[in-house]
Structures are given as structure tokens and as C-alpha cells.
Structure 1
Amino acid sequence: MLHSPPKAVNDNFATVPSPAIGLTPPPLTINAPAERDAAIDMQDPEVQTMNAMRFNILETQIPTSILPEARHVLENVPSTDRYEAAKKALIQHFEESQRSRLHRLLADMNLGDRKPSQLLAEMRRTANGAMTDLMLVDLWIGRLPPYVQSAVLPATKDSEDKIKVADAVMDSFALYHRTGPYQSVSEVRNGEVELLTHQVNQLSQRLEEGRRTVGNLRQTNRWEHSRPRSQFRPRHWANSTARNPDFEICSFHGRRQGNSTPSPSS
């Protein structure tokens, strides 16, 4: 035998009796069925008991590694609907922790004294799935020294091949340039700056030596121009001497010879 639908049902809302649990649920609006289900759960003692059980199960499922961090979150959840409140609070808290990890990936992680493969492994552990491996590899390449980047970028798209190339280049560089740990990007840049500074100092020293040499030459030229010139014999004296090579008598003997000429009276 068919039963007719309840008279209270119409196009806008319905009130359905619930004799099984002895409760009258709130009116059902067609546009908000979820709110009605939540209101029923809040009134049902069995649902409240189930929420408490789910909250207790949630506490037992939290890993011990994050339990100290999650404990203060669980202690602040309300006494009603504890499971849903705890779930939302934990998700929000660890989303903030994930943002902190990403910030550490972007700002704080450098190569230091490690191999490139060791740096990428730590970046993957820190990201913990928050970034794709392709993004992590691109970020990792930016942390490498320039001479390693130039070798890694043309390599194949396989990240493992890039890692092998990066480690090989760093090993070769360590063999030829230093015997200690690997150089970081900042150390390489500092070495380049020191080399440029040394070259600039050498050029400055050479320029200063050149200035002193030019100054000495100018002083020598001024001294030579200011020195008095030696007295030369007159031109007619040189010519007369050239015409009469026997004329080599000094002036004293010349006067004596002139005086010895006999006078007309003698």
C-alpha cells in the first residue's frame, strides 16, 4: 500500500520527523543542506560521542616527531565538536610551517662546503613535497657557482644527469684549485674580487712609478737648459788660426817680439 508524502513538504522547506532518535530537525532549506546536517549532528548525543571518539583517535594518529608541536594546538580546541576543530587547527598550523620551510628554501639554503648532490637532497627533504622536483632543481641550480651552472644548464633534462655533472665539475675544480672542502658561491666571488683588487693595486703602482719617471725627466731637462753655456772662441779667431797654422805664439811672446824690433835710431 502506497503512502502519500508528508503534508509539510513544499517547494521551499520540509520538516521531517525523526522518531528514531526522538528529535525534530530544523527546517530543511533547499540551498543549504550542509547546515541542516551540522545542526542535526550538534543535537545528536550519538554524534557527539562519535566526534569525541574521532578526536581521541586523531590524537593517537599524530606522529611522535610533531606531537610536541601539535599538543598546544589540541589543548586549545573547544569542548564541542572537538574533532573538526582540531583538524582545522592542525591544518592551519602546519600550513604556516610549510610556508616557513619554503621561505628557508628560497632564502637560507646555500651550497657551503657540501657537494651539489648533498644540497639538492637537503632541499628535497625540506620541501617535503611542497614543490615539484622541477622547481627544486631550478632553484638548486641557482645556488651553484657560475662555472658549475654553465656546465649543468646544457645537460639533459634528467635531474640525475645534472647532479652527476655538477658533482664532477666541483670535484675537478677542487683538484686543480684547492685541496680543502668545496668552494661556495660567495667564496668564488670573494676570490675574484681579491684578484681584481690585486691587479688594480699593481696598475696603480705602475702609474705612480711612471709619474715619478716623467717628473725626473722634466727636472733634468730644466737643469740642462738653465746651465750656463761654455765660452767659444770668436769666429774670426778660428778662421785666422786656420789660415795661419804657424801662428801658435802666445800673446806674451808676441809682445816681446814686437818690442825687440830695432828702432830707426839704433
Structure 2
Amino acid sequence: MCESENMTKSDLTGSKDIFRVGVRVPPFWPEKPAIWFAQIEGQFAISNITADTTKFFYVVSHLDPRYASEVEDIIVSPPADDKYGRLKTELIKRLSESREKKVHQLLTHEELGDRKPSQFLRHLQHLAGPKVPDEFLRTIWSSRLPSNIQSIIASQSSSPLEVLADLADKIHDVVPKGQVAAASSQVSDVLTLTKQMTELVKQVEILTRKVNDLTRPGRSRSRSSSRHRSQSRSDVHPTCWYHYKFGKKATKCNQPCNFDSENPKSSQ
């Protein structure tokens, strides 16, 4: 909102004219509320506004509803004293991201994307704030760069961070833009093939165990011994067990059997 410049009437005795400059309130900046308050306080100083209540209502009248709702309790029930100071403190506190959240975002979410390496570095510096060491920031920044740039940055360990950012930009401009995407696609293909090979190895292991169970030495010997005993018994006693044991008195017979009821002795 911009108020026109007003001038009080000068008296006829030649006293100095008194000018009052209107407050030019900049658009609210939710990402940087502290800077916005610094700007509006500059306008208060130019306009010679010192009253706490006047400052308070200037700010309230220029807040978007979604940001005003963040300090609804103060707007609806302002304190008796220092209304403007309380509103400023709470609005900055509630809208500004905590340093911990910024560092968490720095560590877990930020990627190079379409930015140049130097732009990405400045973005990380903004998120980290002034208290994060350059060496730590350098590690995070370089690890998010394409592998061909990482290898060159790693060989320049003694260079300042700004010099490395300029070097990374030059490499980034030379490397074809599709190379990084192609590399990502190749990595994805390799991971898919690796997964398929792992499944095949598991299936082969299962089949191998089944074959080993079927061909265990103990089982083979048991079957072989059983067949050997059957064959030996058949060779020694061509008659079935019943006729061999009971002769003509046998009431049962298992084939093959060559028992001769007329001549029992010849069958034995």
C-alpha cells in the first residue's frame, strides 16, 4: 500500500513546512520474514512512525490471511504492551524453518537436478547456514555431483570451495546433458539383471538339494540291497515263499512260482 505524500499547511509567519512521507510496505516475504520486518522498519523510520500500536496495525493490515492465521492468537488478543515486538517475534519464529530441519533437508533430500554445480553449492550453503563447516558442506556437495565431476573434484582437495564450484561448472558445460541420464538408466538395468541372477541362483540351489536328496548313498544302497536279496532268493528258491515253507500244504502262492505239486522235491 502506498500513501501519497502529505503536507500540513504552513502558517503565515513563515514557519517550516512539515512533510509526512507515506509508508511503502513491501510484499510479505514468508521465506525470509526477518528481512521483510527489516524493510518495513526502514519505512517506519522514514515516515517517523514510532507508536507501537501504529506499527502493529500496519503489519496486521498487510499480512496475507494464510500467514495471519499463524499468529491469530496475537492478532485477536494482542498484549497490552509491545504489540508490534511480540507480533514480529512470533511471526518470525513460527514461519522460519528451524536450523535442524534445514540441515536434515540438506542431508536427505537435496539433489543437483537441473542446476549448475555452483548454483547447487549456493543452495546448500543457504540451507546449511553460516555455522556449518565448509569441509562438511564440500563433502555433501561433491557427493551429489555426477561421477565424472566427482573424480576431478577429489583430485583438487587443496583448492577453495569457490574455485572447485567454478571448475565443476566448466566440466558440467562440456559433458553432454544426456550422459547423466544414460548412466542412471544403465545402473537401473544392472540392478534388474542382478536381481534376476540372484533369483536364478536360489532356484538352482533348491533343485540341487532335491537331486542330492534323491541320490543319497544310503538310499541307493538300500534299494540295491533289496533288489539283490530278491534276485538271490529267486535264484536259490525258485518257488514262492509259501510253497517253499509249507510245500503242498500251502494255501497261498506268489508268482512267479514253479512249484510242482506232483513232485515237490524237484521244485526245491
- TM-score of the pair, normalised by structure 1: 0.40
- TM-score of the pair, normalised by structure 2: 0.39
